[in-house]
Structure 1
Amino acid sequence: MSQLLRTGYLGLLLFLLSMLLDASDHLIAGAAAAPPVFSFNFSAAPYPSTYSQDLVFQDDAVEPQKAGAPVELTCTWNDQVCRRGGRMSYAHPVQLYQLAANGRISKVASFSTSFTFAIRPIDRKDTCRGDGMAFFLASFPSKVPYRSAGGNLGLITDNKAPKDLAPDDRFIAVEIDIGIESDQDPKERTDHIAIDINSVKDSANITHLPTNVTKLNGTMRADIVFDSSTGMLVASLGFLDYPSSAAHAQVVSANLTEHLKGTPPPGPQVAVGFSAATAGCVEICQILFWSFNSSLPLIHQDTHNIARLLVKLIIGGALVFALVLWFLLSCWEQKRIRNVFDKGTGGARRFEYRDLAAATDHFSEDRKLGQGAFGAVYSGYLKLLDHQVAVKKIVRESSEGHKDFFAEVRTISEAKHKNLVKFFGWCSRGHSWNILRFMCSCFWSKKNSELFLVYELMTNGNLNDYLYKSQSSEVLSWQTRYKIAKDIGSGLLYLHHECDPHILHRDIKPGNVLLDENFNAKLADFGLSRMANQDNATLLTTAIGSEGYLDPQCLKHGKVPFKRSSDVYSFGIALLEIACARRHREQIWDLYRSGGNIVEAADTRLTMGGGLDMREIERVIVLGLWCSALQTQHRPSMRQAMDVLERDGPLPDLNSLIVVNTTLASTTEEDASSAPAGNRYDCDEAPLLIAG
């Protein structure tokens, strides 16, 4: 864009130069310039004026806001956001030449301009001064070149050579330049005026202010005249703040005949105005009065140009229509997708992808906590929440329009309990809610279509690690294990009996039991959860869960009834692992049935901590066997289980309650005994929020 702006800027000025070049020989021999037929005047008073109609203000230049106020081209940095320069130009094009019927230049304008201006350094000690200002003719409309501050006077891009200028970048200017301390070019050491053609470093002519003349400071007047018959451009400068200003007048001139030869310029109209710039030091450059006169009036475009303009308008209109149509279709599609997500997620909070990426160091491997077929989990710090979070990245989407994702979001956002992992919100990377980004989303790779869930981070990891992977120094005491057992039961009690409709977790196991800094247990990984039908306590679904923890009644292919008792079975297996760790359920059951001391099945590492409540351990083991009974009618409800854990409720005689010599029992026992209770994992499901 900046390149286009630069190209547009000086093109008209280039045409001015080229036009004058071609016509100069003929004009030198021609008659004297005709009297001005086009003119305008600008004055700082009265107020209000027609600034907005006749003048254009760019960058730091601003329209005066009170009567008698001058136009300030630069600002002082004290209370403004400055761009290191400003430009004021006439709002309408100025005719530089006319074309004959054969397409050649037939007449070049003679023009004159007079302006009163002021340069006022901010540094009163005069140790740090700005760079000056210039009157310019450039391409129309006026455009400020890229990187043109400081000594470039807002006329040319820094270090751009004249030979590299595009047609719209060329200019003619009379610079009123403040000198700097320099050991290089003499023109840089003193204040001077100069005539510039496509360069501010190699001026066509330059006049330095003598040492006995005041510096460029205060109120001044400049007069500039171009005579098309002679090709001469003459500029004079006078100092109005001194009584003997006439004696101080400085004049610079240049014969543009040689410079105006060559290729005709691209157009007959130019922009005229003033440009000023600053760099390290600043100053105020003001325009108090300006008049401009030209021998050529502004002419209308010819029929050919009008036809070309009409074609451009038709093409532009077609492009605008296509863009509007694309915009409307994108709005419709975005609204449709957004409604699907809003309805599917139940109004849960949505996060921006950039916030999650920043929180997790762009999902770096160092942040990864776990990986499974359905998702990878990363830890991070989310500034929006001022909270440590775990972000689950969904890596395998449902083929039914994110059905599984929506179900998980709805379930976990509606279930709120102290023993359930807190859910913060979700994110969809591939469906931008910014309409402009959405319009361009058709060009994105499908790999960018990703879904995320955001939870609280549980700093002590999961129960499975403490039961099977910890060193002896990290063995959980019985008091902690008993508290964890009650926390798991409390969470399940809430899901089964306090939610309406009730919720089935369907994957209770130590890997999905997360621990906070105080070893409070919370249930996680609701990816398999479902809300039960209000008219039916079961939900027909394909058997799903983790091997070893799944209800034997659900170990069937196709559709099976999944009930609350199935969660109770998994809870029973988890209780046996909490008390006995590596013991098989069948080993524990055989010990109970034979009438032996069932406490002998307890985890031998528990004796390291001492202070064991043998009766409490025995009750937890028996409750685990009761909950994991092979036939659903023999299992307790979660209310009965919590009555045992919290209120010392009665336990049944399992030998008289459970009939084990049935075909179903013998079959399922054989299947279930293939792995120890504490070592049964679902390889397709990674634990959801394992803290690192």
Structure 2
Amino acid sequence: MALLMLVLLLFQTAASMAESFVFHGFKGANLTLDGMAAISSNGLLRLTSDSHVEDMGHGFYPLPIRFKDSSSASSATVTSFSTRFVFAITSQAPSCHGLAFALSPTDGIVGGAVNNFLGLFNNSNLGNSSNHILAVEFDTCKDPMFKDINDNHVGIDINSLISVSAAPAAYLAANNSNETIILQSGFPIFAWIDYQNDQQLLNVSISPSTEPVKPSRPLLSQPLNLSSVLEDFMYVGFSSGVGKLSGNHYIMGWSFSTDGEAQSLYLSQLPSLPVPNDKARQKKYVIIASVIAVVFMIVVSTACSYVAYKMQKKKKEKLADIMEVWELDYPHRFSYRTLYKATDGFKEKGLLGTGGFGSVYKGVMPGTSTQVAVKRISHNGKQGLREFVAEVASLGRVTHRSLVRLQGWCRRQDELLLVYDFMPNGSLDEFLFDDTKAATLNWELRMRILKGIADGLLYLHKGWEQVVVHRDVKASNVLLDGEMNARLGDFGLARLHEHGQNPQTTGVMGTVGYLAPELYRTGKATVSADVFAYGALLLEVVCGKRPIHTWRGGNGGEEEEIILAEWVLEWWQKGDITAAVDGRLEGRYGKEEAELMLKLGLLCSQAVPGARPTMRQVVQFLNGEASIHKSMGLPGSVFYEDDGAEHKGLPSFRSMQSDYDESD
């Protein structure tokens, strides 16, 4: 008896630990499968197949998960849970019934029936409270028996297929319009299901793969007390059933958690769907192709039509992509034709800006309202194109609130195109140096921008699976979203290396004024070089002047080149460092905070890499978690407690730059 109790205790302990998991595809996954359910060679979970009729399939996580503790009155409340998954439904028939995410007392669903029962219930147990099943159905069949609202809906089911809440399948798009989603389209669909136990509220959202972001408003939001529905331990998984009209029901990826939000899924990391084998569609295409061939013969019979045809053919060849086999390994790739249409042919009216490394155009992705920014750059040939694309594809997986998301890339001969999220307020550079916009940049906003960019750089250096050196931190690459939140963009020059390894030597790339002096000597892009560029950006934002700018003396004197860091340092040595603050702020800033920012900018701008702080230390200084005077202890530190003291041994930035230049 004691042994049995011990086994049960160990079982419950193991089960309670299984509170979160994520599957980016199911290759090698240990799922409990029954019926038609199977895992394909590339990792798709297929619940049903169009090769079988009147059958069903279940795929469940193999371990039970604790949702409540009935032995304790204080713990009888159902815990919060969250799940995200990506599914697709393909069928030759008008309707193949659909699939459901389910919580069940067993690792499968006993007694589930085919056809419109979705493998969840049967005629004899429909509506029984003893079922203890909670499901969210994605139904492609309108069945009056279950009071379905239409043949393309999402519903919340408790022990029955008569939904307690249902809505036509749709999502709130970025432009705040309600857009319909066809569940049986054959394209990937993202789903979010979240239960909040403090509000006893179940939220369900979906969106298409063209906008794989959780909508700001859920499709379904239903108050539910699940304490009598769910048992202490439940299994989570998926169920589907088909009738005489068969179809394929796929789950491409899945995450689940009872401790906060489930992990996000990205389409680029998931297995791809198979090419549909639609005989009816193929027949239709053959007929269409035959008609076109006849029409073509008639058209080419006249010289005018022949010329028009040749011109159209030439245009198509211009837009065609030439793909090499290795490019198929990087799923962030857009076709050139898609980007050409999105930008209306890269016309000048859509030009957002031009820099030393390319031009940026505003675009709207075809068939959607998604706005993007497309940057065209010419590959310099110093790095293998294949390696360059590999790094760009990797950067497409980097996500942080202070970084502009790289959506993907495109190659056309030696030209590379990078696709980013569109930032409606443009670049920080425009606000700093356009007097009509400068008034928007008050002191609080400037500090928020600088802290945001520091957080983003810290994530690139320490928070991701590889070290990312941005190499082009500057005001024109700091972009502002609709709420004036800053995001660091343009990863076209970024380089990656593993944590604990030294970066490889590269060409000296970047923008004068932001380039660390050691780059001219070593050619190695390091995180310390990013810190130097951040220091230049910090001084630029606080002072309202470019890192290197010209100044003309009084009485028609000659123009003089001013290095901003040296200019700020001179004010500090005079005992009045805040005189360097942007005069347009007219004293509307905190003096102590301004002193901190200016000194931190100088500290980051030192010529000796070892004397600069890390981005982690920079963030600590900005957040007041460390003292810039007492916490550094770095070699070559130039700061003293007494601002009025003589700063002996403090070399000028210009002389330090010259030392590196001469060593080359």
TM-score, normalised with respect to structure 2: 0.44
TM norm structure 1: 0.42
Q: Larger C-alpha radius of gyration, 1 or 2?
A: 1
- Structure with more contact order per residue of length (Cα contacts < 8 Å, sep ≥ 6): 1
